[in-house]
Chains A and B, each alone.
Chain A
């Protein structure tokens, strides 16, 4: 197979949720994703931002072939997701982590849960153990391998769920608001684990979130609104357009907001400041 650069390609992807009335007739059509085109390259860290109901979760489910497009096409690692025979290969190459950690852990012991994916794929027993060990190590949860998931904190559970996906040796991981139900510490743990996977294991990451602080680590950001991709670019490019973001009911990181306000007040600051450190440095340079 030829080495391709792009991991995911979406071409005018659209998806309709159809509501039926009691007689099974089509009552209402809701267009959750509306003609979205984008490309994700291998090793990318892509963040998808959007307000509730902007279609970002629906889009995520397409990448794992849990949903297939109503219109347009989506290729994952060169495979068309609407082709039934690619289904299991697509799901193996694009792992998915969901929002609620309790509802995605199947095993009663941490290591058994991590082994669930490889078991389903028919990996030989000896290799399952190797994979379980290396993926628990990758998310720094190896010492909890014999614990019951019920006794772990939210951040730890979510890292177990990530390990469960990593054990399937995916090319790409889609995380659908993995930190939405966690406390700030758990959020940090999870994001650290995700970044490590992206940088060390070179797994393509697609992170769906509405925490702006998590977005600054991405190398590409997609902003969705009403089923469409309305902005695309690096975090710096996106966050320098504070007013546009506000019109999509999205916030910007605190440091960025402060820098923007200061600039409005007449200070000569550069655009797209992301972190507190950058802001301090820029302010120091002024005087």
Chain B
């Protein structure tokens, strides 16, 4: 059933990482990304690896789910690797094939960059794997709360995001329905070249848009009928409250960052 699809790549499991406050996970991901760019030695990477592996173990997410995220960046990874490998000038030439040469510095940077990219992806997909999209929007809304003073519509944007998330499966189902209805009337979505196929999508998109607008109109009315008037004076059913484990996680995060900085400064 099309309605059963899971959005994003959330992997439901009962782990301490799943139960952490989404704000902690957001801050942790950003910190981890920053830390990755601070690393300039193998020992730094050792620290990051130990941290990442223990977080993966804590998350109870199977390793193959985490690696799946790497598939999408495989080509970028390959290009970075090749360019860094062949185009970095260095003192010692290790291998020379025609005009392309691999230097010691080139090898070093290529491996460094590759590890950095891989860790980057693993780190951020760990967050999306352990946090539901709704928790993420909630966390973002609270974290970006101070921006309200600068008249950034934080609440409105997060409300829009969560409504969009709710309607994706509904609109998917509707697309499926319209598609079948148009196929029954002789529409062809599978043959022809790219331009023809794009043209054939018009009878699908027009009804879909009309129905989406109608739904939006209905929903706006239903929200108004239930006293929705923006973020002002609104209370929360599930307010985000830090507990002991969240402070604990912040502590560990701070230690990790300190270790990375120490390695960079001292070595």
Residues of A within 8 A of B (CB): 64, 66, 88, 91-92, 95-96, 98, 100, 102-109, 111-112, 115-125, 128-129, 132, 149-151, 164-165, 168
Contacts and interface: CB of A to CB of B under 8 A. Distances in A.
Contacts of A95: 225-226
Contacts of A111: 237
Most buried by A among B134, B218, B227, B229: B227
A64 B228 CA distance: 13
Contacts of A64: 225
B218 A103 contact: yes
Contacts of B4: 151
Contacts of B92: none
B226 A107 contact: no
Interface of B: 3-4, 134, 162-163, 165-166, 169-170, 215, 218-219, 221-229, 233-239
B222 A104 contact: yes
Given A88-B229, A106-B223, A151-B3, A98 B166 contact: no
Nearest to B2: A150
Q: Which 8 A-B pairs have CB atoms at the shortest separation, nearest pair first?
A: A104-B222, A115-B237, A103-B218, A96-B225, A120-B227, A117-B226, A128-B237, A150-B3
Most buried by A among B3, B219, B233: B219
A117 B227 contact: yes
B222 A119 contact: no
Contacts of A119: 234-237
A115 B165 CA distance: 18
Given A120-B234, A125-B239, A104 B229 contact: no
Contacts of A151: 3-4
Given A103-B218, A104-B219, A106-B166, A88 B238 contact: no
Given A102-B215, A150-B169, A66 B225 contact: yes
A120 B134 CA distance: 18
A98 B222 contact: yes
Nearest to B5: A150
A168 B222 contact: no
A96 B218 CA distance: 12
A132 B227 contact: no
